[in-house]
Chains A and B, each alone.
Chain A
Amino acid sequence: MRIHSLTLENFRGVERLELRDLPETGVIVIHGDNEQGKSTILDALDAVLNEKHGGRSRAVKAWQPAGRDDSPTVTLHATVGPVTFTIRKNWLRAPKAELRITAPQRADYTGREAEDQLEEILSRHMDRELARTLFLRQDDLGDGIAAVGISSVTRALDGVDDGDSSGTEDTALSAAVEKEYERYFTAGGQERLELKEARVAFESAQTAQETAAAENAELAGHVDRFDRVTERQAQALADLPGAEAEEQELAERARVAAEAEERAGVLRRELQLATEALERAESAVTQRATLAAAVTDAEELLAERRAGLEAAQEEAGREATQLQELGERRTAAVQAQKDAAARLRTARRELRLVTDASRRADLTTQLASVRELNERIAQLRTATAGREITAADVDAVEEATTELTLARRLRAGAAARLEFTGPAGETLTVDGTELTLGDEPVSVELSDGTALLIGGITARYRAGHTAETGTDPVAAAEQTLTALLEELDLPDLAAVREAHDVHRRATEDLAALLRERTSLLGGAEEEQLVAELARLEEELADEDLPDLDVDAATRAVEEAEDAGEEAGRLLAEIDEALAPWQQRRAENALTALNVRIEAAEESLRQAQSALDSALAGASDEALGEAVREATRAREEALAQSRAADEEVAAADPQLAADLHEGAVVRLRSLHETVARSREDLAGLRSYIEQAQGAAERLDKAESALEAARHRLDSVTRRAEAVQLLRETLQRHRAEARARYARPFAEQLTLLARPVFGTDVEFTLSDQLEVSQRSDADGTVPLADLSGGAKEQLAILTRFAIAHLTSRESEDGQVPVPVIIDDALGSTDPTRLQRMSTLFSRMGDTGQVIVLTCVPQRYERVGGRTEYAIEDLKSSTTLL
């Protein structure tokens, strides 16, 4: 299609807009601000081509300018294929359509006809799908265009591929096939509608048939059973009289047999009695004999026993004698043993006494020594009692003495002295102490107060004041010493030393004494020995002490022990000899024999007694007679019984009873059969009545099933045919499409390289939509491309499609204008530059209509025509 001119009147917000004398090819830029009418132009184009003039939908009404009841009008002058025409349409108020065809032949149409003709022209000469892609409705500059749905494109691609028909896109056929498919299947391949219904109907017909068949079979069963039961009943009724007669006859027979049996029983009992009587008689005879024999036996036994008496008595006598002798000897031995024991006891006692006495003596001695020692010890203890003068004490006194001496010496040294020389033997008294002069000078120490008496002169020394104060060391030392000595209660050092020595010695002696004591005690305590002694004293107090010493006593004991042993041994010997006799066998034997003899005598007495009394009751002859009589009676009874038994055997009462019983049972069964049959028949009749119509229902169900099967087969056949057709078509189409992808991709890439770079490549889906773009930087899915890239891609795709279809059309031009509605808003200037070249190229082969706010974007597009919307809208028509 090429648009020559387009006029809008009262269309949306536009009072009048005229696009005139558009070039047949080239880029046409229509620019203006938003809301000024660019998209209105597209709407008008869409309206005039697709909306019938009679339309009154809300969309149509929206074209009416607000608040005015004017008629929106659009006039289009265009060429589609070989046809050049002008179409003018009014909507809403005075709706109208006028079509004037100017080429190839003039024709005018109005109204409905105009619409039809227009439609005819458009559908015949324009690829609607292509139009949709390139021409109208661009608000969806969306993610992709499915190029494969456009038959022009695919026809073009057919030309590209030199191979034979690789795929006409016969969408009409595909749609028809799809529609036919949907008659039978859902999108997911499930059965639906007719097919599903036919299947469901078939299945339920099957179920119905099964049910009816079952019902019918059941009815047939009942019918058969009815016939059988009826027959059985009739048979039973027929048999009844015969059965009754038979029962009676058998009853009589049974009765007769029973009587015979009874009689036989009676006779049998009589036989039994006779037999018993006979037995009793025979038994009496036997008993008699037994009694006689018993007497004889008893006599024999007695004699036998008596025979042995004498011997036994002798034997017993011998035994007694023996026992007596040995008994006496034993008594003597026992006595001897006792004596020996007594002797031993005495000897032992005496030994004990002697031993004790000896011990007592020892103890006494020992204790005396001990006591002596105790005294000495006590003495020593006393001696050492009191304060012990220890070595330390000695040392202390020595030291004190030394101190004093020293102090004195010092004093003497320091003290004033008087030295006296004089004739020897002259004396003087110093502090009461007489000093005798000797060869050597006598030094007298002077201290304050020292009094010297020389002859009759007393001199008392008085010390001058000295620097010394405090205690007088000598006094102190004297005090110390005096104190010590007082404490020790000794006069002087020598005494102390001596006391210490004495003590020491005493201690040593004490120790020695103690040791001696201990040894003397021999490990025991004194108290123990004392106690022992006391005890012994007590024990021996009242005793006569034998005149023996310990050794003698010991010897006596030994002898007594020996004697005892001997006595014991002797006694044991005797006991051994005695043992066998003590059983008194002979005596016991004798006693036993006596007892048995007595018993035998008693037996004899009893046997005799029994025999005598029996004889008193009946004589032997009488018994014999009784036996004979009983024998005869029994034989008679036997004969009678046998005869009766034979009779019974012949009558066979058991069998007769059984037969009768059988007849009774049969009779009863027949009655039961008749009764039960009656019941059964009644029941069956009711079932049969209820099931009326079952056969017909089955018949109908079977017919219905057959019909359903045929129908299902028929529908299935049709469904399978469309399935096969669809599948085959789809398969072929998929193969064909696979072959499109390459050439289309090539075309797209060719156009895209100048814009995106020489290494750009596109991946397409089998719908020929771009799915991803790859270049040196990587692969990006379509959705992730930038807004600008997407814009560019959308346009490039359109250009690729347009390019391909231009090759296909006869005049080498794009069959439908490419309309770009204010795109490239997000495209950077460099890209814009490159895109511009493409625009120009597209313009060479067809109309490219660009609607934009920013005409500067398209500055670089060569050969373009620009229109400003305001100019187009001016009410005076240009030219």
Chain B
Amino acid sequence: MTPEPHSVTFLHTSDLQLGMTRWFLAGEAQARFDAARLNTLRRLGELALEHDAAFIVIAGDVFDSNSLSAQTMGRALEALRALPVPVYLLPGNHDPLVADSVFRLIDVEGVHLLGDSEVVEVAPGVELVGAPLLARTAATDLVRRALEGLEPTDAVRIMVGHGQAEARTHDARADLIDLAYVESRLADGTIDYLALGDTHSAQPVGTSGRVWFSGSPEVTDFRDHATAGGGETNSGKALVVTVSKGAAEVTEVPVGEWTFEALDRELMGEEDVAEFLATLDAYPHKDRTALKYGLRGTLTMTATRLLEEGLEARRPVFAALHERERLTDLHLEPGPEELASLGVTGFAAGALRELVDAAVDDPTARDAVNLFFRLARED
């Protein structure tokens, strides 16, 4: 009698990078961000219960680095301790299993370390095998090495790895995961699912449907509407995976609460400015939103002031709102009536004219003109 095909449901996540700092988050925003990241563990616990997950797998970069402060470590341990299901941690490139590894400090029931490539039976008929990073950089394809030590099995076996499967640049990398090999081992039943970490957006790899990056459960980098790749487009998710022998069903569920977005606009007049400001206003959770913007165009004084005042007003509300200097190129062209309305005559007018002319090329002159208008109008 053939045994019933075993199937197990678990949560696949990675790249929590607890302890990460973002420079553009000022003091209190950073603290809230830290809390949010930690909170994802709690939410994962809730999701695990919700979806009947037997365990949680974190495929690498659990921590942002190996040498974290006692506070960060302590709170992380608390969060892990509070999980309702067992959790399996794989050392990644941010937290490799080296001498100072944080994992050695964890002695919590229900928290397991995949510190080698030995098969671990997590439940009858369900096995996990890890391909942990034992050094800061991998010299070979660790996944392949781990696979080579295994034979096909009847049990449902899930491999957990951390690294890139396709080269993002043209450099040949020694540690690139050989996808073809993996798919062949999927086909012959050595493993049934490869849970990967390292990429921060959730996405499948290859065509088997059984190799996935879970992405980071909380955003780490900007989604960029302007550039081709788009930046981090699909983070803030975790994967609910139901695996059986030879098959896997994967569902993306949202976990994260923060938003990082990069904006790009061309501003040619007050209307454009108004539209841009309205876009900013539209973000629902500004305190959990970090925005950076690149602006190009030519504006009158009024429009410029509108823009600057608008930004000044909104900046404190957002977690972060700053200019992308490399992508900002605004020109100032005061209208003649604007100059006249100031009512400056005499030498002040002469000074203003000089600055306006210089403002075509010189951003400092542009700012000076802007300042002039502000001060003159404040009289």
Chain A residues close to B by CB (< 8 Å): 154, 158, 165-170, 172-174, 176-177, 180, 216, 219, 222-224, 226-227, 230, 684-685, 688, 691-700, 702-707, 710, 713, 717-718, 720-722, 724-725, 728-729, 731-733, 735-736
Contacts and interface: CB of A to CB of B under 8 A. Distances in A.
Contacts of B345: 165, 168, 170
Nearest to A695: B65
Contacts of A735: 347, 350
A724 to B, nearest CB: 4
A722 B365 CA distance: 9
Contacts of B354: 728, 732
Interface of B: 19-26, 30, 64-70, 72-73, 98-100, 135, 322, 325, 344-351, 354-355, 363-365, 367-368, 370-372, 375-376, 378-379
B368 A721 contact: yes
Contacts of B322: 710
Contacts of B367: 717-718, 720-721, 724
Given A173-B376, A699-B19, A707-B23, A166 B69 contact: no
A168 B100 CA distance: 72
A704 B22 CA distance: 9
A725 B376 CA distance: 12
Contact of B67 (A154, A695, A703, A724): A695
A223 B98 contact: yes
A646 to B, nearest CB: 55
Given A176-B378, A728-B354, A695 B64 contact: yes
A291 to B, nearest CB: 94
B92 to A, nearest CB: 14
Contact of A165 (B19, B66, B135, B349): B349
Contacts of A168: 344-349
A703 B348 contact: no
Which 10 pairs show the lowest CB-CB distances between chains A and B?
A: A168-B346, A226-B99, A695-B65, A706-B23, A721-B367, A695-B67, A693-B69, A703-B23, A732-B347, A736-B347
Nearest to A708: B23
A717 B363 CA distance: 9
Contacts, number: 159
Contacts of A691: 67, 100
Contacts of B64: 695-696, 699
A441 to B, nearest CB: 175
Contacts of B351: 725, 728-729, 731-733
Contact of A696 (B22, B69, B325, B346): B69
A173 B100 CA distance: 62
A688 B363 CA distance: 49
Contact of B375 (A180, A698, A699): A180
Given A692-B68, A710-B322, A724-B355, 5 more contacts: A173-B344, A227-B135, A692-B69, A706-B23, A732-B354
A693 B70 contact: yes
A695 B95 CA distance: 11
Nearest to B134: A227
Contact of A158 (B66, B346, B350): B346
B75 to A, nearest CB: 12
A88 B100 CA distance: 85
Contacts of B21: 696, 699-700, 702-703
B350 A165 contact: yes
Given A724-B364, A732-B354, A177 B66 contact: no
B379 A692 contact: no
Contacts of B363: 717
A732 B348 contact: yes
A173 B99 contact: no
Contacts of A710: 23-24, 322
21 contacts: A158-B346, A165-B345, A167-B347, A170-B344, A176-B375, A216-B67, A222-B100, A223-B66, A226-B98, A693-B69, A695-B19, A695-B68, A702-B23, A703-B23, A706-B23, A717-B367, A721-B368, A721-B371, A725-B372, A729-B347, A732-B354
A696 B68 contact: yes
A713 B364 CA distance: 12
A176 B375 CA distance: 6
A718 B371 CA distance: 9
Nearest to A701: B21
A220 to B, nearest CB: 8
B344 A707 contact: no
B338 to A, nearest CB: 16
A721 B325 CA distance: 17
A720 to B, nearest CB: 5
A683 to B, nearest CB: 12
A177 B67 contact: no
A216 B345 CA distance: 60
Nearest to A225: B99
B99 A684 contact: yes
Contacts of A720: 364, 367
B346 A724 contact: no
A732 B371 contact: no
A697 B67 CA distance: 9
Given A692-B69, A696-B64, A703 B344 contact: no
Contacts of A703: 21-23, 25, 30
Contacts of A694: 67
A685 B99 CA distance: 8
A576 to B, nearest CB: 120
A704 B27 CA distance: 9
B198 to A, nearest CB: 18
Contacts of B72: 693, 696
A158 B70 CA distance: 73
A557 B26 CA distance: 153
A452 B68 CA distance: 192
A227 B368 contact: no
Contacts of B368: 721-722, 724-725, 728
Which residue of A168, A219, A684 has the most chain B CB atoms within 10 A of its CB atom? A168
Contacts of B25: 703
A787 to B, nearest CB: 37
A227 B98 contact: yes
A603 B39 CA distance: 129
A170 B372 CA distance: 13
Contacts of A728: 351, 354-355, 368
A705 B341 CA distance: 43
Contacts of B378: 176
A435 to B, nearest CB: 176
Nearest to A220: B136
Nearest to A726: B368
Contacts of B20: 699
A696 B363 CA distance: 37
Contacts of B346: 154, 158, 165-170, 736
Contacts of A227: 98-99, 135
B364 A692 contact: no
Contacts of B364: 717, 720-721, 724
